[in-house]
Amino acid sequence: MTEIIRSWQCQNSRCAQEFTAWEQYPACPGCGCVRVQWIPGGGHVQGTAKAADAELRALADCFKMTDINSAHRDERAKPKLAPQHNAGRSVPNVQFAPGFTAPINPNAAQCLPSTSTVNFKTRVAQGQRLAASRSVPGVQAGTAIEASYRPPR
């Protein structure tokens, strides 16, 4: 677990010492008073954002990493990757579920992204059921009733 060091100020009017501590609401090291207040700090990255983007670009250029993306305003940080097609490979695409295909070798453990675009977005009005799907079975298909109880009337 990661510890966080915070800045605190003693609420004793005769002390009013500022100090840092790892604990939550620690006693003041100057007077021992337990009335302390957290001093918010950090989170101000306006001046460092441009420098961080420049450093990211320099590292990407240095190590020839062309797929690194630093998002601009109103742009997602992760670019949508183009689907990888199975051109020139000896292993055919295997379909795992509706919309999930990947060129895996059944004789080796692998973790590959789907080669097909996956999109399960739908529009449903409030109080309405989802339309039945031809490719995805309903919840009832994987449900097994092991036992039931009906109270006597």
Q: What is the pLDDT of residues 59-86, one digit of tens each?
A: 888 888 877 766 677 776 666 666 555 5
Q: Tell me phi and psi for residue 51, to 5 degrees.
A: -65, -35
Q: For residues 2 and 26, which has the higher predicted lDDT (pLDDT)?
A: 26
50 inside domain: yes
Q: Do 3 and 21 meet the contact criterion of CB atoms below 8 Å apart?
A: no
Which is nearest to 115 in space by CA: 96, 136, 93?
93
81 inside domain: no
Q: Do 118 and 109 meet the contact criterion of CB atoms below 8 Å apart?
A: no
Range 80-98 burial, b when 16+ CB lie within 10 A, else e: eeeeeeeeeeeeebeeeee
75 inside domain: no
125 inside domain: no
Please give the model's pTM, rounded to 2 decimal places. Answer: 0.30
Could you tell me the two tokens for 116?
A: 């097909």
Domains identified in the chain, total number: 1
In this predicted structure, the answer to whether residue 45 has a pLDDT above a threshold of 70 is: no
112 inside domain: no
45 inside domain: yes
147 inside domain: no
Q: For residues 100 and 90, which has the higher predicted lDDT (pLDDT)?
A: 100
- Write out the residue range of the structural domain in which residue 34 sits: 1-65
36 inside domain: yes
